[in-house]
Amino acid sequence: MTATVTHLLQANRQVVDMAINKFLPKMMAVAALAAGTLLGGCATVATPTASAMRDGGLAMPPAGWLDFCARNGRDPSCQAVQLDASKWRQLQAVQASLRSVRRVSDEAVYGKAEYWTVATGAAGDCEDIALAARDRLMKAGWPTSALRLATAWTEQKEYHVVLTVDVARGNVPETLVLDSRFAVVMSWDKLKQMGYRFTTRQAARGPQWVLVNS
């Protein structure tokens, strides 16, 4: 009787061991996956994919953000370029200097339809002149985030590149434009009224460009 009981116990133990060896790895894998999903651990899980968020036009900041910046003036995101008399003179001087650059196509100078470079001599295409304006303002201490190239179709339906300059008068944001077609600094609102249709411009940071909501 004792031998029979012992034999049965050994047989049952073998069945339990087989079940553990068969199902335990799967149970552990499921548990690890659940832990990784819930806790964000080292388990391999699928990462979400997303498209890039694109900027539109300028908008008045929320009242709460204006209050935040009033209390946290050293926050880099709150440090918009204030358009004082000194900054305005700098813009005017750079705009006046652009008039001395003769408009010449990239095809005539470089033998190719498109070749963007800073206009360092007396001739250049519209984008070269816009890059030159950007370069001169950066050397004067303007932040690159405020100096953004933009593409547009003019009132004459011609493709064009200009330099947009984001500034603020107090808490009111504005975008001014240095355009090689004009002798004075323009506002983007004025150019839109004239028939300009802005399409894209540089993002405030990084190499990307964003769509413009006109």
3-state secondary structure of 100: coil
Higher pLDDT, 44 or 99: 99
Average pLDDT for residues 41-67, to the nearest whole number?
66
> At 207, is the pLDDT very low, low, confident or very high (cuts 50, 70, 90)?
confident
Residues with Cβ within 8 Å of 201's Cβ and at least 6 positions away in sequence, in order, are: 148, 149, 150, 151, 164, 209, 210, 212
Give per-residue pLDDT as tens, 143-181. Answer: 998 999 999 999 999 999 999 999 988 778 899 999 999
> Does any domain span residue 123?
yes
Q: With a cut of 60, say whether residue 134 has pLDDT above it.
A: yes
> Does any domain span residue 188?
yes
Find the domain containing 138 and state its range.
81-211
Q: What is the pLDDT of residue 80?
A: 77
> Does any domain span residue 70?
no
> Does any domain span residue 21?
no
Structural domains in the chain (count): 1
Contact between 198 and 212 under an 8 Å Cβ cutoff? The reply is yes
Q: With a cut of 70, say whether residue 4 has pLDDT above it.
A: no
Which of 60-64, 73-77, 98-102 shows the lowest mean pLDDT across its residues? 73-77
Within 10 angstroms of residue 94's Cβ, the number of other Cβ atoms is 22
Side-chain-facing half-sphere of 140: CA atoms under 13 Å: 19
Which residue in 168, 127, 114, 124 sits closest to 145, CA to CA? Answer: 168
Average pLDDT for residues 82-95, to the nearest whole number?
95
For tokens 């003179």, the residue is: 89
Q: What is the pLDDT of residue 61?
A: 74
Say if pTM beats, i.e. exceeds, 0.85: no
> Does any domain span residue 75?
no
> At 46, is the pLDDT very low, low, confident or very high (cuts 50, 70, 90)?
low
What does pLDDT average to over the chain? 79
